[in-house]
Structure 1
Amino acid sequence: MLSESEVVRHLTDAGIPVSGTAVRDSETAGSFQVFVEFERDQRGRQIPSNAQLDSARASLFDLGVSVDFILTDALMRDAEAGLRASLLHSFGSIVRNSFLAKDGRDAYVWIVPKRQITAEEVVGITAKSRALLAEMGLNLSNMALTTGQNLPSKTRCLSMLRLVAPVTSDALAGHLREAGFVVPSADWMVRRLDGLRKAGQVVRLRSGLYTLTLQALKGLGTVKGRCSPDVARMLALASHRG
């Protein structure tokens, strides 16, 4: 059976730009999740194409390996970093941070304010965001403040992680959204997990998956009976397998 590095080497040789490393599925032998960074050419065509990805997947399948590709957008990361730098430069006295999510070419901006922002300041931030995103080929569909939103607290993130770990940051964000929480962007989730990691409550495995530390498990405690988090974890895992 191929190792993680051998899977990455095979894909790289096939012209597939792997981002990071292949993540082995701990429950299914010979199965991997692979993050692939894609771009769009001047005609809007995806690179690498779906045909290239299907061909690479088929060749690995012949070697006894099942691959699930997770596409990541380089434009998305560049746009979020550029927007954050620009807003902090222009509105550093009122903006603590910003996050960006997108659906196709529609962009959704979340602002973390340092204080209550006036309507006039919102207009200025919106105009700045719209102009910058337009240069990147994105349309500003909505801008909102994180204040008053149902963002998952650190404890909520840890509780969800206990149910579904080991898990990627993207998958954890998906579970939190399913539970009714607002997760502004992939970068927000990564930053939240990084803060928990530095606090000794979360571990990032070599595979890229996240899980809780013993310290976090003790801090969360346990409940006996049907409300036990261990029971909830089994039910959650069973529902996703089904």
Structure 2
Amino acid sequence: MFNEAELERRLIAAGIPVSGSAIRDSEDGSSFHVFVEIRRDSRGRQEPSNVQLEVAKEELRAVGVQIDFVLTDAMMRDAEAGLRATLLHSFGTVIRNSFLTRQGREAFVWVVPKRQLTEDELGEVSVKARILLRELGLELAHITPTTGENLPSKTRCLTMLRLLAPVSPGVLAAKLRVAGFVVPSDDWMMRRLDALRKAGQVVRLKSGLYAVTLLTLRGLGTVKGRESPDLSRLLALAKRHG
């Protein structure tokens, strides 16, 4: 069975730059989440290309290994930071923060309001966001206040983290989305984890992965029987390292 180090060596040899450690899926020991930072060449073409990524996935699938590539983009992080700075400069009295995700050229913006925004205020924020995003080659698809959205609470984040740990912010965010929660962006997840870390509830390992602290484990408690979260975690670890 492939381990994380062997998988990373094989991908790097195929010209795919792995960003951080590969993460074995806790529910399927033969599946991995692999983070790859994509770049653009002088002609705007993606490196590594989608063709390269698909070829690598097929080659690994042939030997019984399933890969889910999680693509990260330095330009995307810059775009999110630039949008946040712009909106806080112009609307700092009504907006606390903003986050950005995208699908292709479509951008989805989430704003954290200090109070409920009026339609006119949200319209003004949309105009400002649209202007900036167009300069970055993106089109605003939707802008949504986080008020009333099904954001995962701190307790829900900790509960999921206890089950998956050690885990990366990206994989944790993906699992929370699958569970039906709204996670505005990976940066939102990072900020939530950083706040929990400062509160002594989670720890960031040298690998960049996160886990809950002993204090948090005690605080979350447990239940006996087959529904025990501790039993679920043991089963997940057994699959991951089996």
| Residue pair 1:24, 1:207 contacting (<8 A) in 2 also | no
Q: CA 1:182–1:34 in 2, change beyond 3 Å: closer, same or farther?
A: closer
Q: CA 1:51–1:103 in 2, change beyond 3 Å: closer, same or farther?
A: closer
Name the residue aligned to 2:174.
Answer: 174
SS at match of 2:71: strand
Q: CA 1:80–1:229 in 2, change beyond 3 Å: closer, same or farther?
A: same
SS at match of 1:36: strand
Instruction: Using CA pairs under 8 Å that are at least 6 residues apart, name the structure with larger relative contact order, 1 or 2.
Output: 2
Q: CA 1:231–1:24 in 2, change beyond 3 Å: closer, same or farther?
A: closer
Alpha-carbon distance in 1 for matches of 2:86, 2:128: 8
Tell me how far 1:114 sits from its aligned partner: 0.7
Q: CA 1:67–1:150 in 2, change beyond 3 Å: closer, same or farther?
A: closer
Alpha-carbon distance in 2 for matches of 1:239, 1:178: 20
Aligned-pair identity in percent equals: 62
| Residue pair 1:23, 1:34 contacting (<8 A) in 2 also | yes
Alpha-carbon distance in 2 for matches of 1:111, 1:24: 30
| Residue pair 1:39, 1:74 contacting (<8 A) in 2 also | yes
What TM-score results when the alignment is normalised by the length of structure 2?
Answer: 0.79
Name the residue aligned to 2:93.
Answer: 93
Unaligned runs of 5+ in 2: 59-65
Unaligned runs of 5+ in 1: 59-65
What TM-score results when the alignment is normalised by the length of structure 1?
Answer: 0.79
| Residue pair 2:168, 2:209 contacting (<8 A) in 1 also | yes
SS at match of 1:230: helix
Name the residue aligned to 1:62.
Answer: none
Further displaced range: 47-56 or 166-175 = 47-56
Name the residue aligned to 1:49.
Answer: 49
Alpha-carbon distance in 1 for matches of 2:210, 2:110: 25
Tell me how far 1:48 sits from its aligned partner: 2.5
Map 1:112-123 → 2, pairs under 5 A = 112-123=112-123
Map 1:1-242 → 2, pairs under 5 A = 11=12, 17-19=17-19, 21-23=20-22, 35-41=35-41, 44-50=44-50, 70-233=70-233
Tell me how far 1:23 sits from its aligned partner: 4.4
Aligned residues: 235
Q: CA 1:112–1:16 in 2, change beyond 3 Å: closer, same or farther?
A: same
Q: CA 1:175–1:68 in 2, change beyond 3 Å: closer, same or farther?
A: closer
Further displaced range: 84-93 or 204-213 = 204-213
| Residue pair 1:40, 1:47 contacting (<8 A) in 2 also | yes
RMSD: 3.8
